[in-house]
Structure 1
Amino acid sequence: MGLSASDAFRRLLWGGEGDRLRATWRILLGFAVVLGALLTGSRLLGRVEVPGVLVNGPVALIVLLAVGAYALVASLVPGERPVRGYGLALDRRWARDFLAAVAVGCVFQGLVTALLLATGTGRVVETLSPGVASGGGAPAVAVAVAATAVGFVGVALWEELLFRGVFIVNASEGLAARGLEPRRAVLVAGGASVLAFGPAHALVAAQGASPIFAAGQAMAAAVYFAAAYVLTGSLAFPVGLHFATNFWTVSVFGLADSGFPALVRLDRSLGAGAIELLLVVLPTLVMLGLILGWVRVTRGGVSTDEALAETVRRRHGSAVGE
């Protein structure tokens, strides 16, 4: 006897066990709630006159609301894990990993900047630029820099929560449920997150960068963000790396003609040649080495985080529920 239409629809969403949404829908749920809340919050914020000196600082508030909305929805969906289950368990270890990642990210960006200057693809055009804080003196610049930092922590938080936490964990469970060995499922899911994250950034290429370079750079970044997540099982390190990347490229060696306050401004000219390939590959290899070193020192070895692997292992072979 065949399934009724309602039973078939339920099986499509919930699987045979009926205790949780299938992996695909869990991923889409996270993206829909967070992105929907961010879009709604941005539109509402657009109706409010915000002082220019706050630059992107208000983004952090919107992100907190979006993550809060997702946490609420997740608590109401049977079988869905809380957001802390994706690596947002804020404790001393999380803080330590985050701060270490910021330091590692600055070393990485320092290397990138040195290569830009050495190869002539970057040229200093301004120093000590106040940006939107112009005319306000040191206090205004301090506020603008702080607001910029807070805003980019928010950006890093929501992107890493979705593309690393929600995507990798649920995709790993779905793949393992269909018979793929758990640790391999995590690696494949991590690779898929790179493909999901990178190409989209070609549409938002930074000033002076071609869409091809922007996509390639974003995919390289997604590789080490994913590696940091898979090896630590926490969002702390990828969030720290992501924050350092964004903050460095706007407020340490920022873009020419940007409104963000910047220590130095660079005019960049990045296409899709051999030099650009070097600018992506060499720093990425250094970054991966630094991540592996931190994991070895703090975890005692380099492998897929055991808690993450165990989470995926519990779903191995249970395709009916995924």
Structure 2
Amino acid sequence: MALSATDVVRRVVWGRDRRRIRATWRILLGFGVVLGVLLGGGRLLERVDLPSVLVNGPVALLVVAALGAYALVASLVPGERPLRGYGLEVDRRWARDFLAAVAAGCVFQGLLTGLLLATGSGRVVETLSPGVASGNGAPAVVVAVAATALAFAAIGLWEELLFRGVFILNASEGLAARGLSPRRAVWAAGGANVLVFGPAHALVAAQGATPLFAAGQAMAAAVYFAAAYVLTGSLAFPVGLHFATNFWVASVFGQAGSGFPALVRLERSLGSGPVELLLLGLPSLALLALIAAWVRVTRGSVTIDESLMEVVRSRRGSAAAE
């Protein structure tokens, strides 16, 4: 018997199991709601004359609104999990992982900065730069630094929620539902995540970096962000790494000509040769080692988080629902 248009739509969106929409739509739902609010809110903020000393601090308000909207929509969609189900269950362990990740991220960025200076790919052009707070005294600098840190923490939160939590967990479930073993499904989803995250960042290359280097750097970042998420089953470590990376490049060894207050400003020159390959590879391997060491100390073994595996196992073989 021929299916009606309504039945076709239901089959595409829900499959045979009406309790839950398919994995692809769960991923698109998260990206659509969060990015929609961020882009729409960003347009509104452009019309507001905010003090320059706040730099990108107002972004944090947009992130709160975006995550709130996503949490609300998710609660209304059949079978969709709450945000804490993606690794946002904040408790003492979450805070400990976050702080450890910030420390690891600073070690990673310190090594990268040292290599930049040693290879001549980075050159110090300014120290103790107040950026947009110039001429307004120490209190303005403190406000600018705090606003910068708050904004980058918020940016790390939404990007890791979408690219690691929403993408990897739902993609893993979808792949497992189609017969892939849970372990392979998780790693395959992590690999796909690298391919999605990297090229998207080629369009936002940092000062002094070619789009090719920016894409390579983002793909390397996606590897250690994904590894941190898969091995801990939590967003704490990837969010901490993301925050440390962004804040370091903005306000510790910031970019030349940037408005962010910075301890030191570096002029970077990054192409796509063997030196750049070293700059991408060596610090990334060191960071992966730090992640593995932390997981070993806090979880006992370096393997896919068991809670994450349990979620994926529960979907194996249920292709009609995914």
- Do both share a fold (TM > 0.5)? yes
Which secondary structure does the structure 2 equivalent of 1:163 belong to? helix
**TM value normalised by structure 2:** 0.99
What's the counterpart of residue 49 of structure 1? 49
Per-residue deviation, residues 259-283 of structure 1 (Å, max 9, x unmatched): 0000000000000000000000001
1:1-322 residue pairs with structure 2 within 5 A? Answer: 1-322=1-322
Give me the identity figure in percent. Answer: 78
Return the alpha-carbon distance in structure 1 between the equivalents of residues 256 and 227 of structure 2.
Answer: 32
Q: CA deviation at 1:43?
A: 1.2
Q: CA deviation at 1:166?
A: 0.3
Task: Give the AA of the match of 1:122.
Answer: G
Task: Give the AA of the match of 2:25.
Answer: W
Per-residue deviation, residues 153-202 of structure 1 (Å, max 9, x unmatched): 01100100000000000000000000000011000001101111000111
Q: CA deviation at 1:6?
A: 1.4
Q: CA deviation at 1:45?
A: 1.2
Which secondary structure does the structure 2 equivalent of 1:126 belong to? strand
Cα-Cα RMSD: 0.5
Q: CA deviation at 1:23?
A: 0.3
Return the alpha-carbon distance in structure 1 between the equivalents of residues 179 and 131 of structure 2.
Answer: 54
Return the alpha-carbon distance in structure 2 between the equivalents of residues 50 and 308 of structure 1.
Answer: 42
Q: CA deviation at 1:95?
A: 0.5
Q: Which runs of 5+ in 1 are unaligned?
A: none
Return the alpha-carbon distance in structure 1 between the equivalents of residues 5 and 142 of structure 2.
Answer: 61
Return the alpha-carbon distance in structure 1 between the equivalents of residues 204 and 9 of structure 2.
Answer: 37
Return the alpha-carbon distance in structure 1 between the equivalents of residues 296 and 167 of structure 2.
Answer: 25
Return the alpha-carbon distance in structure 2 between the equivalents of residues 180 and 2 of structure 1.
Answer: 31
**How many pairs align?**
322
Return the alpha-carbon distance in structure 2 between the equivalents of residues 44 and 158 of structure 1.
Answer: 19
Per-residue deviation, residues 33-81 of structure 1 (Å, max 9, x unmatched): 0000001111111121110000011101100100000000000001000
Q: Which runs of 5+ in 2 are unaligned?
A: none
Return the alpha-carbon distance in structure 1 between the equivalents of residues 301 and 50 of structure 2.
Answer: 48
Q: CA deviation at 1:7?
A: 0.8
Which secondary structure does the structure 1 equivalent of 2:164 belong to? helix
Q: CA deviation at 1:3?
A: 2.1
Which secondary structure does the structure 1 equivalent of 2:311 belong to? helix
Task: Give the AA of the match of 1:42.
Answer: G
Per-residue deviation, residues 187-244 of structure 1 (Å, max 9, x unmatched): 0001101111000111000000000000000000000000000000000000000000
Which secondary structure does the structure 2 equivalent of 1:128 belong to? strand
Q: CA deviation at 1:5?
A: 2.0
Return the alpha-carbon distance in structure 2 between the equivalents of residues 293 and 57 of structure 1.
Answer: 33
Q: CA deviation at 1:127?
A: 0.2
Which secondary structure does the structure 2 equivalent of 1:272 belong to? coil
**TM value normalised by structure 1:** 0.99
Return the alpha-carbon distance in structure 1 between the equivalents of residues 305 and 60 of structure 2.
Answer: 29
Q: CA deviation at 1:4?
A: 2.0
